[in-house]
Amino acid sequence: MTETSQRPRPLRVLAAMSGGVDSAVAAARAAEAGHDVTGVHLALSANPQSFRTGARGCCTIEDSRDARRAADVIGIPFYVWDLAERFREDVVDDFVAEYEAGRTPNPCLRCNEKIKFAALLDKALALGFDAVCTGHYAKVLVNEDGTRELHRASDMAKDQSYVLGVLDDRQLAHALFPLGDTLTTKDEIRAEAERRGLAVAKKPDSHDICFIADGDTQGFLSKRLGKAEGDIVDESGTVVGSHEGAYGFTIGQRKGLRIGTPAADGKPRYVLDISPVNNTVTVGPVAALDVSALTAIKPRWCGAVPTGPGTYTAQLRAHGGETEVRAELVNDTLEVTFTEPVRGVAPGQAIVLYADTRVVGSATIATTERATAAV
């Protein structure tokens, strides 16, 4: 088994460069490895802001310029491609629709699935490139038979295999993650960027959701979906508060509920359920968040589809911990049982199954089963 970044044959590589430090170092490493690298910044916003506001976002003209300057220093050609329309349709509109349906989407995962390793990859392959390179922290290993395995990054703290779990064998065959096999901290990546003369070395990390520049997801959603006042109820159905749109909530959320009536036991309450049909948010004690099982739809497999039930470790959200599960594919639905109940599982998020460090597959969480009595 060899790692893709060490494959001897020079590849024609299209490096997606966000203007951040990770993708810049990734492109630099790919070029240094002897690949023929071309940098591309994806313009994902139809009306980009001129400057980054704070540390957030990655869709501004300033980011595009940062990416261009990094490409200059690396010494590779650089272009800006407008994928704003595709991004709006496949990521932003989907994000809004998912919240509207009471689910909690992961737009980064969606962007990898639909933009970086679909729209961009397809275009790259058609134009004669062999691979798309990104600054993700994950590893692609090649088996004897040429099939690919996706593994967690060497640095578990930086691992991003969760948001790449939707990639299939074909996509992985054309993916290059030069940062995945480094057991390095972010500081070391920054030091490397500095050493390479990349000005983005000191640039703050982007985080949150790139198309919500001010970080106010609720505000963004209410602008898109309008206000829809409704009740917040407790587990018995008693109205304990009101909200301005059920879509603004996430399972397990505690902050921002603004409930007037305190709970009987005086303990904090959490969002247990979101019902878009009757625009109701159900809250309850933390114990009621415990989930013992779930079903997940639209499974994607990295490699062979598992037959029969199996034991895996699972990750249920970005930067989430691992938990042991038994999972079985039944009529294209993944049925998952947790060894120990887990807290705050939100439909819409992905469950990624791992065998040790290897990504087995990914699916979208559809329903959950409470560990305690249902509402």
Partner 1 sequence: MAYLDHAATTPMLPEAALAMTAQFAVTGNASSLHAAGRRARRTVEESRETLAESLGARPSEVVLTSGGTEADNLAVKGLYWSRRDADPARTRVLASPVEHHAVLDAVDWLGEHEGATVEYLPVDRYGRVHPEALREAIARNPDDVALATVMWANNEIGTIMPVRELADVAGEFGIPLHADAVQAFGQIPVDFGASGLAAMTVSGHKIGGPYGIGALLLGREYTPVPVLHGGGQERHVRSGTLDVPAVAAFAVAGRTAAEQREWFGREIGSLRDDLVDAVRAAVPDAILGGDPAEGGRLPANAHFTFPGCEGDSLLLLLDAQGIECSTGSACTAGVAQPSHVLLATGTDPDLARGTLRFSLGHTSTEADVEAVGKAIGPAVERARTAGLS
DSSP class of residue 23 equals H
Location of structure tokens 């480094």: 182
23 annotated to bind ligand: yes
Pick the catalytic residue from 58, 111, 133, 302. 111
The SS3 of residue 283 is strand
Choice between 81 and 301, CB closer to partner 1: 81
CA pair distance 315, 353, nearest whole angstrom:
7
**303 annotated binding-site participant:** no
Contact 210, 92 (CB under 8 A): no
Nearer to partner 1, 82 or 340 (CB): 82
Cα 47 to Cα 53, 144, 219, 230, distances in angstroms:
15, 47, 18, 33
**Are the C-beta atoms of residues 48 and 41 closer than 8 Å to each other?**
no
Instruction: Please confirm, yes or no, whether 302 is among the known catalytic residues.
Output: no
Task: State yes or no: 45 annotated in a binding site.
Answer: no
Give the contact letters, 100-119, x = binds to partner 1 (CB under 8 A), - = no.
Answer: -------------------x
DSSP 87-150: HIIIIIHHHHHHHHTT----HHHHHIIIIIIIIHHHHHHHTT--EEE----EEEEE-TTS-EEE
Q: Determine the Cα–Cα distance for residues 352 and 322; give it in Å rounded to an integer.
A: 10
Q: Specify the stretch interacting with partner 1 by CB under 8 A; choose among 123-131, 181-189, 226-234, 298-306.
A: 123-131
Report, in Å, the least distance between residue 331 CB and partner 1.
35
Q: Is 21 within any annotated ligand binding site? A: yes
**Pairing mode, strands 36-43 and 78-82:** parallel
Asked if residue 128 belongs to a known ligand binding site, the reply is: no
| Segment near partner 1 (CB under 8 A); pick from 126-134, 136-144, 268-276, 337-345 | 126-134
Burial class (CB in 10 A: 0-12, 13-18, 19+), 262: exposed
| Contacts (CB under 8 A) with partner 1, residues 226-265 | none
Q: How far is CA 351 from the centre of its chain?
A: 11
CA distance linking residue 217 with residue 240, whole number of Å: 24
**Residue 266 C-beta: closest distance to partner 1, Å:** 53
CA angle 332, 106, 287 (to 5 degrees): 85
**Residue holding tokens 């560990």?**
371
Gap between the Cα atoms of 310 and 312, Å rounded: 6
**Residue 252, annotated ligand binder?**
no
325 is in an annotated binding site: no
- Cβ proximity to partner 1, 86 vs 186, nearer residue: 86
Cβ nearer to partner 1, comparing 69 with 358:
69
**Per-residue CA distances from 238 to 192, 274, 324, 375 (Å):** 57, 15, 36, 12
Q: Which of residues 64-103 bind partner 1 (CB under 8 A)?
A: 64, 68, 77, 79-84, 86
User: How many residues interact with partner 1 (rule CB under 8 A)?
Assistant: 21
Query: Using CB under 8 A, which of the segments 125-133, 141-149, 307-315, 364-372 binds partner 1?
Result: 125-133
Give the H or E element holding residue 265. Answer: none
Q: Is 173 annotated as a binding residue?
A: no
Residue from the set 69, 123, 358, 370 that interacts with partner 1 by CB under 8 A: 123
- In the complex with partner 1, which residue's Cβ is closer, 151 or 174? 174
- Residues 59, 108, 210, 302: which is the catalytic one? 210
> Cβ 120 to partner 1, closest distance in Å?
8
Q: Cα–Cα distance between 103 and 198 in angstroms, integer? A: 40
Task: State the pairing for strand pair 131-133/175-176.
Answer: parallel
- Binding of partner 1 at residue 364 (CB under 8 A)? no
Q: How far is the CB of 177 from partner 1 (least distance, A)?
A: 23
Binding mask 29-68 for partner 1 (x = CB under 8 A): ---------x--x-x----x------------x--x---x
Element (H, E) at 176: strand 175-176
Is 210 an annotated catalytic residue? yes
Choice between 43 and 359, CB closer to partner 1: 43
Query: What span, in angstroms and rounded, lies between the C-alpha atoms of 333 and 269?
Result: 31
Enumerate binding residues for partner 1 (CB under 8 A): 38, 41, 43, 48, 61, 64, 68, 77, 79-84, 86, 119, 122-123, 126-128
Q: Which residues are annotated as a binding site?
A: 16-23, 42, 135
Point out the residues that are catalytic: 111, 210
Which residues are part of a known binding site for ATP? Answer: 16-23, 42, 135
